[in-house]
Amino acid sequence: MVKKYGISALLLFGVYILVMYVYIFHSNSGGIPESLQGTVADPHTFMSEQEVYLSEEYSKIKNFLFFVATPFEWLVYIFILASGLSQAFENSLLIKVKWGIIKKAVYLFLLSLFIFIVLFPLDYYRYYLSKNYGISNQNFSSWMRDILIDFWVNYGMTVVIVTVLYWLIYKNTKKWWINACLLMIPFSIFMMFIQPVVIDPLYNDFYPLTDKGLETKILTLAEQANIPANHVYEVNMAEKTNALNAYVTGIGSNSRIVLWDTTLNQLTEGEILFVMAHEMGHYVEKHIYIGIVVYTFTTILGLWLIAKLMPWIIARFGSRLKIKQIHAIHSFPLFLLITSVLSFASSPLTNYISRYEETRADDYAIELVAEPSAAVSTFQKLTIAGLNEVNPPLLVKWFRYSHPTMLERINKVVDDTSE
């Protein structure tokens, strides 16, 4: 029976891959509307023919990988359960110890290591792709270092979260999600607080902006926006990527405005001020706090759904998935599976909210800096540096784009300034 279900899942996955391949590589979705061809939003006006070709090719491959990798991850979780691997990890001689936290830590290490090994080819191919298309400058040893830091940081947080989570499930298999919500929300806020000063520096060096004249102008903008900022930080990314970025991270006294050095090297002063004004727009519009509210709501809803779905799945398919009890640690891949499916299903909504916030931040930046041409040229340079697709297919936009498309962003600037 398990073999039959496995073959059916693989066939379904194969059909899905074929459908997504046709949609992404051979459909007419996306492209430049006829009314915008030849305008500043048309990549043919600010990119070379080679850059346009590479951006289209690179975007299609990235999009296809995204839509393939997510359900493939689901199949991995199902395989770990149905093959008995999860039970084997729990019953391993390596974890016959008295203390439950050590047992869970070893189980989670074996599980994380297996998933890391299985998904490593996909991770490596993404790295190879970005290197081959000139987005990444990072050598293999540096990339592996970042991958291993990711592994250990995620593993450490997983041990803490899962140990507490399964203790709650053991104490109350029906209402554990309520206490989990009460703990997860402050934990997540705590992680947002320490992210800029503890986790981010593991990957890169952060230091105050070296161009003090530019920093003064940025802080003047911050003062106009009533933002209590004393420093702007830059991070050394040029040795890893040619892409451009800037962001706001952290909360409270640990919040930071960060510029990649690639942004400093490739944008003009006016363009940098526009980027900074955009990031300040997020602060003024209180997007960090809105994000916390949205995260709180989705966490509560997600944990409630998991609490309802896990017992039902175990009752119906537990023997095939080799799950004996919901509070047994070997059920954790099922928790991961449901979480991943819910996250994927909700991404169109969360991306829509994010795109709305990014649009608001763009509007604020254009009003604060009052240089529409700087906004347009910034968006154009961001497109070139990342070989971004200016107008992706609709499904790609829904599931992948947390920012408005470059076509929308550039065209909105033109429309607003022509009114």
Please state whether 135 falls in left (phi above 0), alpha (psi between -120 and 50) or beta. Answer: alpha
Distance CA 398, CA 385 (A): 23
82: amino acid identity, one letter: A
**362 an active-site residue?**
yes
Of the candidates 42, 357, 362, 408, the residue annotated as catalytic is 362
Residues 6+ apart with CB under 8 A from 103: 90, 95, 97, 329
Q: 212: exposed, middle or buried (C-beta count within 10 Å: 0-12, 13-18, 19+)?
A: exposed
Distance CA 166, CA 82 (A): 21
For residue 12, CA distances in Å to 135, 317, 341 come to 34, 19, 16
Is 282 annotated for ligand binding? yes
Is 358 annotated for ligand binding? yes
**279 an active-site residue?**
yes
Of the candidates 234, 279, 357, 408, the residue annotated as catalytic is 279
- Rg, C-alpha atoms of the chain: 23
For residue 257, CA distances in Å to 101, 227, 241, 247, 277 come to 38, 11, 19, 6, 11
Q: Which residues are annotated as a binding site for Zn(2+)?
A: 278, 282, 358
Q: Which residues are catalytic?
A: 279, 362
Q: Which residues are annotated as a binding site?
A: 278, 282, 358
